[in-house]
A and B are shown apart, each in its own frame.
Chain A
Amino acid sequence: MVTSSPKVLVVDDELHLCKILRRILEREGYKVKTATDGETALRFTKEERPDVILLDLMMPGIDGREVCRRVRQFSAATQIIYFTAKVMLTDPLKLKELHREADAFITKPATSKQILSKVSGVLQGAS
């Protein structure tokens, strides 16, 4: 069990996903905040300074990659996990780029086990 209760920001335009991810993560002891668009995500990141952002890529408005680029500018410590539908992974060149940008990568759909292991993975890597 995590002692210092790491903060996780879940960003996804699918409200259902945000809700279930919050429950899964909270059950494991994480402090969870959710956002359904890029701008809210950026605001929360500035205010809360989350340890991990679980970041959807395809969103209306500011998309996931733009959020990532901006977060990197003011918070180097924040671990960013791209959480995306598989469609992105069909282009190998793009896939390489995405891997360079993010600290980890989860493809949708994923099981709770896969998600939790990625989150704890990046936190261990960062500490």
Chain B
Amino acid sequence: MRCDPIRVLLIEDNPGDARLICEMLAEVRDAEVEVECVDRLSAGLKRLAAGGIDVLLLDLSLPDGQGLDVCVRANTQAPYVPIVVLTGLDDETMAVKTLHMGAQDYLIKGQVDSRLLFRSMRYAIERKRMEEELRKSEEKWRSLVENAPNIIMLTDSDNIIKLMNRTVSGFDVKDVIGMSIYDYIRPEYHDAVREAVDGVSKTGKTGSYEIRGVGPDGSMSWYETWISLVKRDGEVIGVVHIISDITERKRMESEIKESEQRYRELFNGIRDGVMVIGLEGKFRDCNDATLRRLGYSREEFLRLSPADIVAPDFLHHIRSNLGKLRAGEITIMESAHRCKDGTIIPVEANTRRIEYKGGVAFLAVVRDITMRKQLQEQLQHSQLLVSLGEMTAGIAHEVNNPLGSILLYSEMLMQSDVSSQIRKDLKVIHDEAKRAARVMTDLLTYGRRVEHQARRLNVHSVLKKVLGMRQYGERVQNIAVSTNLLDGPLYVRGNSAQLTQVFMNLIMNAEEAFRESNGGNIVITTQIDRERAKVSVADDGSGIPEENLDRVFHPFFTTKQVGEGTGLGLSICYGIVTGHGGLIHAENNEMGGATFTVELPLAEVRRQRSSPRGRKRASLLTT
């Protein structure tokens, strides 16, 4: 029970009634009641405006107001003060009307005693307070809904929109309410909405759908809607839709997607391999060039670590560089990578530390340096030849003089009176000196330069001359030579004698391949490839062991018996061909033998068909 006194305002123009009521209230024992009494509505309204009144006892028949109007005016003046009408008029209709106008109770004078009046007042106060709380609560929720950044919509079980705080442009909230949600949303999204609503109904969980519609500025916008069931007493009565405008988010998403795609295109467009290695030592990402070069699929590659692809010899190099890399230094290192099929590729890796997905990782840009290595080797080889040439020139003079003496003395002795055995022995000395002289001649070929003697010449003529020279030897050795030459002349710039020497050497080498077998085949082919004349000499002999392929052009490399070859033939060919600005290389062919190919720059670019029909296949010699 409240301790504060109940402050009552009585508006009653009849002094008798007023006194009677005051006496009744004075009899109240349960609470202290303070009564103020005025005899005019105007005075009452004034007092109400001043505040501090807990309950109003109101007569409806006043000098300045009559009936319902009194009740309305009092309620308007002080909506929070409960009103108990106390009137002489026993009119049930009027009673109901006053209750509608905000009065809490309707009492008839003469039928009221102290207890009834007090109880009515107390209930009126309490009811008013509860009403007020409800109103405040509703106001709070309404304000929340109305001020929410989202569109909030309530649909009933027949999909009729029952409530909506606001709507998109082109619609008015009051028009939308009562509409079916399927009249409100564009037809192409009906399935999505239906699916979401059905899902939510089945599972009872929240669901969502995305739709496009006209946005607040009239342009098309994207909306994301979260929905959940609305239940009363355990029964589903509708669905609440919380709709957010996600146009901006969508735009950003698509920008990020585009940017990601652009980055991917760049990343994968790089010819070098690019790899990201996590600190834990696993590959985290790589570009397409990496996968193409190493032959792995992306899934396979991302399961690997550098130790799986770096050739073992180089692993400790990488480990020793880890500290530098961690410290933020950039390292450039030559190493070798092993492909899935076992091939080893020489590479140069440029590695640095980067920020990656919120952590630290290493970025390696890996270049295939096969070509560079080959060029380096070729350069080293040519340098070797040059220095060998210079050295030989120096030695030649010193060696040729004593050789001259040996030749002449042995000849002199052979012509003198000696036994036939001694003459034979002297012949050996003489021949050996001649052989030594031949070695010197071969060696000196290095010192030669072609530019003074280069002129336009037909490679086909040179080949035919060489084949003519070898004809006899080949016939007796059971060797068949066939040619597969382009039609017409094939012009290069060069020295005829030197190129004769090259082709002679290659053909004699091919013949050499049949030394231990009874004959064989040699095929000589000419082609044009990228402004170069290509001449290949292929045999079906025993081929060249893989490990010797790189060495056959090195000076003094020979597989012949000691005394049979100087080991300089191919080396001289190499010197001559590179001196002509050309290339020479050896490989094993599908006939089981070896193919030597000489590439020389064309003297002029000829328009030539290189189709097989344009070729003339001729067998110069068959046995």
Is there a chain B Cβ closer than 8 Å to A77's Cβ?
A: no
Taking a contact as CB atoms under 8 Å apart, the answer to whether A109 and B444 are in contact is no
A-B contact pairs, 30 of them (CB 8 A): A14-B405, A17-B408, A20-B405, A20-B409, A23-B412, A24-B408, A58-B397, A85-B396, A85-B400, A86-B396, A86-B400, A86-B441, A87-B447, A89-B444, A90-B393, A90-B447, A90-B448, A93-B452, A108-B400, A108-B403, A109-B400, A109-B404, A109-B407, A109-B408, A109-B434, A110-B404, A110-B407, A111-B408, A111-B411, A112-B411
Q: Which of B393, B403, B447, B448 is in CB contact (< 8 Å) with A109?
A: B403
- Given A109-B403, A109-B437: A87 in contact with B397 (beta carbons within 8 A): yes
**How far is it, in angstroms, between the C-alpha of A90 and the C-alpha of B434 when the chains are bound?**
19
- Given A20-B408, A20-B409, A112-B408: A87 in contact with B393 (beta carbons within 8 A): yes
Taking a contact as CB atoms under 8 Å apart, the answer to whether A21 and B408 are in contact is yes
Taking a contact as CB atoms under 8 Å apart, the answer to whether A87 and B444 are in contact is yes
| 5 further A-B pairs in the complex, CB-CB below 8 A; given A20-B409, A58-B397, A85-B400 | A86-B441, A89-B444, A90-B444, A92-B452, A110-B407
Interface string of A71-96 (1 = CB under 8 A from B): 00000000000000111011111000
**How far is it, in angstroms, between the C-alpha of A77 and the C-alpha of B444 when the chains are bound?**
35
Interface string of B383-413 (1 = CB under 8 A from A): 0000000000110110011111111110110
Is there a chain B Cβ closer than 8 Å to A70's Cβ?
A: no
Closest chain A residue to B441, Cβ basis? A86
Shortest Cβ distance from residue B441 to the other chain A in the assembled complex, whole angstroms: 7
**How far is it, in angstroms, between the C-alpha of A93 and the C-alpha of B448 when the chains are bound?**
11
Most A C-beta atoms less than 10 A away, residue of B396, B401, B448: B401
Is there a chain A Cβ closer than 8 Å to B239's Cβ?
A: no
Is there a chain A Cβ closer than 8 Å to B453's Cβ?
A: yes
Residues of A within 8 A of B407 (CB): 109-111
Within 8 A of A (CB), among B414-470: 433-434, 437, 440-441, 444, 447-448, 452-453
- Given A90-B393, A92-B453: A85 in contact with B401 (beta carbons within 8 A): yes
Residues of A within 8 A of B434 (CB): 109
Most B C-beta atoms less than 10 A away, residue of A20, A58, A109: A109
Residues of A within 8 A of B396 (CB): 85-87
Q: How large is the interface on A (under 10, 10 to 19, 20 to 34, 35 or more residues)?
A: 20 to 34
Residues of B within 8 A of A14 (CB): 401-402, 404-405
Residues of B within 8 A of A86 (CB): 396, 400, 440-441, 444
The main secondary structure of chain A at its interface with chain B is: helix
Closest chain A residue to B450, Cβ basis? A92
Residues of A within 8 A of B411 (CB): 111-112
Is there a chain B Cβ closer than 8 Å to A100's Cβ?
A: no
**How far is it, in angstroms, between the C-alpha of A21 and the C-alpha of B396 when the chains are bound?**
21
Closest chain A residue to B448, Cβ basis? A90
Residues of B within 8 A of A58 (CB): 397
**How far is it, in angstroms, between the C-alpha of A83 and the C-alpha of B401 when the chains are bound?**
10
Within 8 A of B (CB), among A104-127: 108-112, 115
Shortest Cβ distance from residue B176 to the other chain A in the assembled complex, whole angstroms: 103
The main secondary structure of chain B at its interface with chain A is: helix
10 nearest CB pairs, A to B: A109-B404, A85-B400, A90-B447, A85-B397, A109-B403, A16-B405, A108-B404, A87-B396, A20-B408, A108-B400
**How far is it, in angstroms, between the C-alpha of A34 and the C-alpha of B400 when the chains are bound?**
20
Residues of A within 8 A of B404 (CB): 14, 17, 108-110
Residues of B within 8 A of A20 (CB): 405, 408-409, 412
**How far is it, in angstroms, between the C-alpha of A93 and the C-alpha of B452 when the chains are bound?**
8
- Given A85-B396, A85-B397, A86-B400: A24 in contact with B412 (beta carbons within 8 A): yes
Closest chain B residue to A112, Cβ basis? B411
Shortest Cβ distance from residue A99 to the other chain B in the assembled complex, whole angstroms: 15
Residues of A within 8 A of B393 (CB): 87, 90
Residues of A within 8 A of B440 (CB): 86
Residues of B within 8 A of A115 (CB): 408
**How far is it, in angstroms, between the C-alpha of A20 and the C-alpha of B403 when the chains are bound?**
13
Taking a contact as CB atoms under 8 Å apart, the answer to whether B397 and A17 are in contact is no
**How far is it, in angstroms, between the C-alpha of A92 and the C-alpha of B434 when the chains are bound?**
24
Taking a contact as CB atoms under 8 Å apart, the answer to whether B401 and A17 are in contact is yes
Within 8 A of B (CB), among A1-52: 14, 16-17, 20-21, 23-24
**How far is it, in angstroms, between the C-alpha of A86 and the C-alpha of B437 when the chains are bound?**
10
Residues of B within 8 A of A108 (CB): 400-401, 403-404
Residues of B within 8 A of A16 (CB): 402, 405, 409
Shortest Cβ distance from residue A121 to the other chain B in the assembled complex, whole angstroms: 18
**How far is it, in angstroms, between the C-alpha of A20 and the C-alpha of B415 when the chains are bound?**
13
Residues of A within 8 A of B403 (CB): 108-109
**How far is it, in angstroms, between the C-alpha of A106 and the C-alpha of B448 when the chains are bound?**
19
Shortest Cβ distance from residue B500 to the other chain A in the assembled complex, whole angstroms: 17
- Given A87-B397, A109-B433, A112-B411: A17 in contact with B441 (beta carbons within 8 A): no
Shortest Cβ distance from residue A38 to the other chain B in the assembled complex, whole angstroms: 16
**How far is it, in angstroms, between the C-alpha of A24 and the C-alpha of B117 when the chains are bound?**
170
**How far is it, in angstroms, between the C-alpha of A39 and the C-alpha of B409 when the chains are bound?**
27
Residues of B within 8 A of A85 (CB): 396-397, 400-401
Residues of B within 8 A of A89 (CB): 444
Residues of B within 8 A of A90 (CB): 393, 444, 447-448
**How far is it, in angstroms, between the C-alpha of A30 and the C-alpha of B476 when the chains are bound?**
47
**How far is it, in angstroms, between the C-alpha of A92 and the C-alpha of B498 when the chains are bound?**
14
Closest chain A residue to B433, Cβ basis? A109
Shortest Cβ distance from residue A27 to the other chain B in the assembled complex, whole angstroms: 8
Shortest Cβ distance from residue A122 to the other chain B in the assembled complex, whole angstroms: 19
Residues of A within 8 A of B394 (CB): 87
**How far is it, in angstroms, between the C-alpha of A111 and the C-alpha of B406 when the chains are bound?**
10
Residues of A within 8 A of B405 (CB): 14, 16-17, 20
Shortest Cβ distance from residue A12 to the other chain B in the assembled complex, whole angstroms: 8
Shortest Cβ distance from residue B32 to the other chain A in the assembled complex, whole angstroms: 139
Residues of A within 8 A of B412 (CB): 20, 23-24, 112
Closest chain B residue to A89, Cβ basis? B444
Closest chain A residue to B403, Cβ basis? A109
Shortest Cβ distance from residue A8 to the other chain B in the assembled complex, whole angstroms: 15
Residues of B within 8 A of A111 (CB): 407-408, 411
**How far is it, in angstroms, between the C-alpha of A111 and the C-alpha of B452 when the chains are bound?**
30
Shortest Cβ distance from residue A86 to the other chain B in the assembled complex, whole angstroms: 6
Shortest Cβ distance from residue B432 to the other chain A in the assembled complex, whole angstroms: 12
**How far is it, in angstroms, between the C-alpha of A110 and the C-alpha of B402 when the chains are bound?**
11
Shortest Cβ distance from residue B206 to the other chain A in the assembled complex, whole angstroms: 94
